[in-house]
Chain A
Amino acid sequence: GAGVSQTPSNKVTEKGKYVELRCDPISGHTALYWYRQSLGQGPEFLIYFQGTGAADDSGLPNDRFFAVRPEGSVSTLKIQRTERGDSAVYLCASSSAPGQGELFFGEGSRLTVL
């Protein structure tokens, strides 16, 4: 597709379960970001990939959160032992020129932890 694709669009899980969220960026974009948006808040940075490597993971809240991008394209955000406070919309964005600030965002994956 032409844009950033995120799956699933909605995920409901129980506290303590493991969750994976997938992001398929725009073809050719080497930069990929994950953000988290809680209700009533702006997006908060989680992690940045340049190619296959995580160049900046300073926004990950704790070691229950992990992300990979093994082939430099699709990325997966993994959340272990989910907590109710993890409920949010997880946004993925990609860019060919991150220094110019133009990020292309997906529609997000809404995670609800019961």
Chain B
Amino acid sequence: AQSVTQLDSQVPVFEEAPVELRCNYSSSVSVYLFWYVQYPNQGLQLLLKYLSGSTLVESINGFEAEFNKSQTSFHLRKPSVHISDTAEYFCAVTNIGAGSYQLTFGKGTKLSVIP
């Protein structure tokens, strides 16, 4: 069984400031890692994913996450946030080779960008 821990339930940050949303996971097997985002009144959307290859992955709107196997982490970062980044962010994991590829999600981090 795997689990995901998002240490911060809420993160307020001023516009144009940097932000890091933390995610740690636990699994006895190799995993794929994901960040999903939920904007107000919308469904969950995939933000970025790590499957293999480079441990640094990027999204189209400036977020990046780095897979750190030794620390079992997949923290999400952005150097300068915008008001439009206000949303709830969920880290998720799935076991490689798991038949159903079911995702295990963390509890989420609410990012509030302050003008």
Q: Which residues of A contact B (CB under 8 A)?
A: 3-4, 31, 33, 40-45, 48, 55-56, 59, 91, 93, 98-108
Question: Which residues of chain A are within 8 angstroms of B42 by Cβ–Cβ distance?
Answer: 107
Residues of B contacting A: mostly? loop
Ranked 7 nearest A-B pairs via Cβ = A42-B105, A56-B100, A105-B43, A105-B44, A48-B100, A98-B101, A45-B102
Q: How large is the interface on B (under 10, 10 to 19, 20 to 34, 35 or more residues)?
A: 20 to 34
Question: Which residues of chain B are within 8 angstroms of A100 by Cβ–Cβ distance?
Answer: 49, 51
Q: Which residues of B contact A (CB under 8 A)?
A: 4, 6, 9, 32, 34, 36, 41-46, 49, 51, 90, 92, 94, 99-108
Interface pair A42/B106, CB less than 8 Å apart: yes
With A100-B49, A101-B32, A106-B43 as known contacts, state yes or no: A55 contacts B99, CB within 8 Å: yes
B90 to chain A: closest residue by CB: A42
B66 to chain A, nearest CB (A): 17
